Homo-oligomer: A and B are copies of this chain.
């Protein structure tokens, strides 16, 4: 594993996710972004809209002492949007009306001449001490709450709202507190080498580099026609050193393969997804 001290967890909340009625693209968006910021993503928990279940698992994950927890979903005006209630319960804080959040919601609705109902005012309730995160294209503000060493960021579940709030507001703040490291990545494909044939080579090379991460993904049948995708990642405080190290690691993969199987490893570099 990469030597990163700062752990993070993601919660993607909503019955539609656990029941498989939507594909969880929020999880992959946030997982990717946290990884590139240098946080180690330990887990992604998708849970039903049940305050007790959400609260219980937020509490359990807080015991892991992560630096960041990011949640999506459950901030809207409906009866099952209860993420902030669950978080408040987990961290033993009251859910209180946040004046700044209320102003955001008022401004948004008055702009369109829409009445402020009790369901809409509900979106202004945040855990005590939270900072509201502006939602430039929707109505439910997000929440940034610091609890001990952990920051709990809560964003809406609508992907375009979540993504713009992440990029414009959350990511700059996480970058400031994140580890000062650079991550470099390579992705290549190998034909006609079964994953199990390549496995001992990977194991050998991983022993040599401490901040190296290699993961293989068979794309064909493991027995018939073989396409093996190899993802290589290296993290280091200095970008140039990371670039040098990752190239050395890939050369070593080729060398070890040649030594073990007496034939050249034919690999083709592709763009990292």
Contact = CB atoms under 8 A, between A and B. Distances in A.
A42 B32 contact: no
A76 B194 CA distance: 11
A41 B19 contact: yes
Interface in A123-138: 137-138
Given A48-B41, A221-B137, A221-B138, A78 B199 contact: yes
A14 B31 CA distance: 12
Given A43-B53, A196-B120, A20 B15 contact: no
* Interface of A: prevailing SS: mixed
A271 interface: no
Contacts of A176: none
Nearest to A160: B221
B23 A46 contact: no
A238 interface: no
Given A27-B46, A196-B120, A114 B218 contact: no
23 contacts: A1-B48, A18-B31, A18-B42, A18-B43, A19-B32, A19-B35, A20-B27, A20-B28, A20-B30, A20-B32, A23-B23, A23-B28, A24-B27, A43-B53, A45-B46, A77-B195, A78-B202, A78-B203, A111-B223, A112-B223, A114-B194, A117-B196, A119-B199
Interface of A: 1, 10, 14-25, 27-33, 35, 40-48, 50, 53, 57, 60, 76-80, 108-109, 111-112, 114, 117, 119-120, 137-140, 158, 194-197, 199-200, 202-203, 206, 213, 215-218, 221-224, 231, 273
Top 7 A-B pairs, shortest CB-CB distance: A20-B31, A20-B32, A77-B196, A20-B28, A44-B46, A18-B41, A119-B196
